[in-house]
Amino acid sequence: MTFQTIPSSKSNIIRGFRSSKLGQTGIIILILLVGISIYTVTSVPLTSFRQWNSPSYWVDYPASAAPAWTNLGFFGPTAAVHTILTSESGEVSKQTDRGIYIVSRSFSTNFEYNSYPTDFMIPYSIRYGSIPPVLEINVTRPDGYNFRIYYSALPSNDGVTVSSQLQSVSSRIFSTDQDISKNLRQYTSLFKYFPDNTRPQVMLFSDTQKKEILKGPYTFEVTFYFYDDQDSADEIRVILGGTVYGFLGTDAFRRDLAIGILWGTPVALFIGLTVAVATSFIAMIYGITAGYKGGRVDEVMMRINDFFISLPVLILLILISVRYGLNIFLIVLLLILFGWAGGARLTRSLSLQIKTFQYVEASKMMGESDMKIIFRHVVPQLLPLTFATIAYSVPGAILAEAGLSLLGLSDLAIPTWGRILNEANAASATTLGLWWWIIPPGIMIGLTGLSFALIGYTLEHIYNPRRAR
Amino acid sequence: MAGFYRLLVRRSINLLIVLFLVLVLTVALLGETMDKILTDNIRQQVIGSLIESKIKFPNAEARQAYMDQQIELQIRNLGLDEPWYSPKRFLNTILKVLMLDLGRSYFFTNDNGSPEVKDIIAERVPLTLLLFTSATVITFIFGLYLGPYLAERYGKTIDKANVFVSMFSSSLPTFWVGMIMIYLFAFIVPIFPARSTPQSSPSDPLYIIDLLYHMALPLITLVILSIAVQSYFVRLFVVNILDEDFIRAKRAIGVPRKKILYSHALRNAAPPLLNSIIIGLAASFGGALLVETVFDWPGIGSLFYQAITVFDVPIIIGLVYVSTMIYIAAVFLTDLAYSAFDPRVKAIS
């Protein structure tokens, strides 16, 4: 391979990218990925990252729900979207009435779907002492009717005798609750036909005239009657069950896949870039040293290099992770340890050529030290190519992590694209047709790799046109 | 030719060192666990034989003492009283791994019901080799035809598209494409089986057909993913050769275009091409192992996955050894071909 001195100026790079559509595509994708990472780190709550593996965190979400946009048919949305109404969206009112402390929250939603909700539930966490509060749930329908679907005292706290001794209680009222269907029976006379009060989600959302869905605004009003001013309601939510949810749907473990894909982006960029930068610089230094020193040193260093090149990396990674388990930093470290050898061979052959350049020989004759020559003359020549190598090495690192994840050997604390695919594979998402669980992670891995490959290709095309054309 | 042989010897020594160090690492990492499993086996064996032999003991202590003594005896017989890192045992274990003498698997058997690690792995190696080599060969053939075709259209739209596709496909996880293929051709249009484990037994006369039918989807996955990459590499080297003076000279004297492209250019592009294959081989072998996992192709890749899931250490050790062997053999063979093609290697002598 021939190698000429090329002025490694910035304008050269800019000109190169201007004239290359492939390079521009790579840059655009990269900007997009960095944007997603910044958005995720700043705007998505960190708890969703930490609690990725805890089923209780995701209990309000539907299992295996398709993305919400899939139901946008010609006649409007067909399937009910899973709706989670949280305290933030609910209105709060507090009042005192003859020694009873009333905390009330109302949640409004516009129900415009062509199928009934699959169910509904009202999770709450409250604090109370010896006297249990009374919970009342009212639903105001678009047609103006108001159904009181729940009105009962909550169970008393066991072992609490003093009213000031508060205890936290987190529980939820399900639509299958017998009280609800019992309460709904009193409204059957409003209907022109006989409604099915054992399926409250159907009766509550049905028209009174015809047996069909009543569309429009619904308001759930959840009221607690406390008998002590120290009692309080911390959180109340209303969840309408649906078969579709969010931008990317949910997996079989009820996790919001959009959150997993978002968090996977900074993680993948971290793995890819750290490994790529480290391996490329090690390769550069190693290759230069071998090529510049020459002779016996070169011989020994290249034998070591041959050895590292022939290592079966995946098998070694499997071996080490089976014994020790992996965290993300160990994966990165191992990928660096096993990944630098290929680049070193290339740098060596190039530095052999640079060594023969006249100005290098001249500075040698003027008595400059080897270190100085290497860093002043050889490294600047190889730096552009090292940047290309960095870009080229990113996809490999991300793919290696994904491969380990598929075998179940990844960092279990972190949501990565590879892990999402591993779980999809283990839950046979392919044969169940859960395409939204499979397609996005792979596309993201592919796009990330593609972006860096395109940038690397363009950089190499600028500096070494014979190798990238 | 002396240079060729010297290179060959040097490369084989290098690969033997790789193999040896992988073995040392295996024993160092899993030796302790292996010992624990062996000791457990002995304990169960002793208890089992004691129940069968119906020896009467005056009391529970005497029974326990006898048992302990028996276990102790067996452990000493097998040399398990020395730690796994004592030189004698270390060497011994490595030799055992080399002979695949790894005892029994905890969870797996082969088709004939043998739980011996050796039998289980021996049954699966040919299937991995079948899938991996056929995928490599088919891709290579495609690359050899498409590469010069694209080289002739260097800079045209189809060529640029191929650059893009090859970059995208080499950034995609092979196993993911496998999952998509299963979704498309086993779920949406069910023409291929979702699990690639053949239903019929190997003694069945139609077994080969069944096997090939089940192999189709993983094979297609591996091939379509690497065709673009392979063609890109062939085209890259051919384009570079086409710049050379001797090609221009051949053109000038009127050698047919096709012949220049497919014969002269291709032959001269062989050394760098093989070099790129060596580097790509590692990735594609790893990818093939992972594809097996997704398709449940009964090779060593899916066995790896299953063994890791249930932590079957004897199987894991055996598989590390065997897959390293396959990998090294593949690297060696490509090396061999590379040296045979590269005129510079011959010139050393």
Question: What is the end-to-end Cα distance of chain B in Å, rounded?
Answer: 6
Residue in A with minimal Cα distance to B177: A442
- B164 in reach of chain A (CB within 8 A): yes
Residues forming a β-bridge with A110: A217
Q: Which residue has the higher pLDDT, B209 or A354?
A: B209
The confidence score (pLDDT) of residue B284 equals 77
Query: If contacts are CB pairs under 8 Å, which of residues 441-460 in chain A contact chain B?
Result: 441-442, 445-450, 452-454, 457
Give the mean pLDDT of A105-124. Answer: 88
| Run means of pLDDT, 10 residues per run, chain B, 349 residues | 74 85 86 80 82 78 84 82 81 84 81 86 90 90 90 89 90 92 91 86 83 92 91 87 83 84 81 72 79 91 88 87 86 75 53
Contact assignment for A449 to B172 by CB distance below 8 Å: yes
d(CA B27, CA A55): 38
User: Does A255 score more than 60 pLDDT?
Assistant: yes
Contact assignment for B163 to A430 by CB distance below 8 Å: no
The confidence score (pLDDT) of residue A437 equals 94
Chain B residues whose CB is inside 8 A of the A442 CB are: 172-173, 176-177, 179-180
Contact assignment for B187 to A433 by CB distance below 8 Å: yes
Please name which of B301, B284, B283 lies closest in space to residue B292, comparing C-alpha atoms.
B301
Give the mean pLDDT of A361-370. Answer: 84
The confidence score (pLDDT) of residue A336 equals 93
Neighbours of B290 (CB within 10 A): 26
Residues whose CB is less than 8 angstroms from the CB of residue A225 and which lie 6 or more positions away in sequence, other chains included:
A100, A101, A102, A133, A134, A135, A136
Neighbours of A262 (CB within 10 A): 23
Q: Which residue has the higher pLDDT, A270 or B52?
A: A270
Q: Strand, helix or coil at A216?
A: strand
**Do the Cβ atoms of A271 and A397 come closer than 8 Å?**
yes
The confidence score (pLDDT) of residue A339 equals 87
Distance in Å, alpha carbon of A431 to nearest chain B alpha carbon: 6
Of B15, B29, B33, the CB nearest to A320: B29
The confidence score (pLDDT) of residue A283 equals 92
User: Does A7 score more than 60 pLDDT?
Assistant: no
Band of residue A286 on the pLDDT scale cut at 50, 70, 90: very high
The confidence score (pLDDT) of residue B347 equals 47
User: Does A2 score more than 60 pLDDT?
Assistant: no
- B283 in reach of chain A (CB within 8 A): yes
* Distance from chain centroid for Cα B207: 23
Of B17, B171, B324, the CB nearest to A395: B171
- Whole-number mean pLDDT of chain A? 85
Chain B residues whose CB is inside 8 A of the A315 CB are: 22, 320, 323-324, 327
The confidence score (pLDDT) of residue B183 equals 92
- A195 in reach of chain B (CB within 8 A): no
User: Does A3 score more than 60 pLDDT?
Assistant: no
Residues forming a β-bridge with A147: A139
Share of chain A above pLDDT 90, in %: 22
Q: Which of A338-352, A357-371, B277-291 has the lowest mean pLDDT?
A: B277-291
**Do the Cβ atoms of A402 and A322 come closer than 8 Å?**
no
DSSP B346: H
Q: What is the DSSP string of B271-316?
A: HHHHHHHHHHHHHHHHHHHHHHHHHT-TTHHHHHHHHHHHT-HHHH
Distance in Å, alpha carbon of B168 to nearest chain A alpha carbon: 5
Q: Strand, helix or coil at A289?
A: helix
d(CA A17, CA A34): 19
The confidence score (pLDDT) of residue B348 equals 44
Residues A398-416: pLDDT tens digits? 998 898 888 888 888 889 9
Tell me, what's the ipTM? 0.83
Secondary structure element (H or E) that encloses residue A123, with its range: strand A120-128
Residue with tokens 């070193």: A344
Q: Strand, helix or coil at B158?
A: helix
Q: What is the pTM of this model?
A: 0.85
The confidence score (pLDDT) of residue A430 equals 87
The confidence score (pLDDT) of residue B341 equals 67
The confidence score (pLDDT) of residue A416 equals 92
Tally A–B CB contacts below 8 A: 160
User: Does A269 score more than 90 pLDDT?
Assistant: yes
Give the mean pLDDT of A366-376. Answer: 83
Band of residue A42 on the pLDDT scale cut at 50, 70, 90: very high
Record the tokens describing residue B144, joined without a space.
């050899």
